[in-house]
Amino acid sequence: MPGGNSFFIPGRAPFRLEHRDPVLYYLQRLRDEAHRYAIGAHRRRRAKGARENPLDAIPGVGPLRKKALLARFGSAKAVGNATLGDLASADGVSRQMAKTIYDFFHDDV
């Protein structure tokens, strides 16, 4: 039984509804609404992930340090790959803060 409007109920043979059947129309609207909701939720989750930055999760790294680190290294990934000395050389980053940042990216526990 080809087609996208076939219905399957366990223990019964597949069946189709007539093209103009109000039940078919209702089920199509229900399907479309479920898809709209799922796609919207996925887009919101993906957009939220795009705005998040790993630097935001490091205690002591506020907007100014984050800006200085990104200006010095270009990206959070580059900050994660930086050595302890490189991190300490960034504006507003002390040796202790550099260790905190380094440990955040390299903690194997």
pTM recorded for the entire structure: 0.52
pLDDT digits (tens, 9 = 90+) for 1-56: 445 678 999 999 999 999 899 999 999 999 999 999 999 999 888 877 666 788 88
Listed in sequence order, the DSSP H helices in the chain are 22-51, 63-73, 76-81, 84-88, 95-106
pLDDT at 1 (0 to 100): 42
Distances (CA, A) of 8 to 26, 27, 93: 17, 13, 63
Which tokens hold the place of 42? 């996925």
Distances (CA, A) of 32 to 8, 26, 52, 88, 94: 18, 10, 30, 54, 55
Cβ neighbours of residue 78 under 8 Å, at least 6 residues apart?
Answer: none
Q: How far apart are CA 74 and CA 81, in angstroms?
A: 11
pLDDT at 65 (0 to 100): 86
pLDDT at 108 (0 to 100): 63
pLDDT digits (tens, 9 = 90+) for 50-60: 667 888 888 88
pLDDT above 60 (res 102): yes
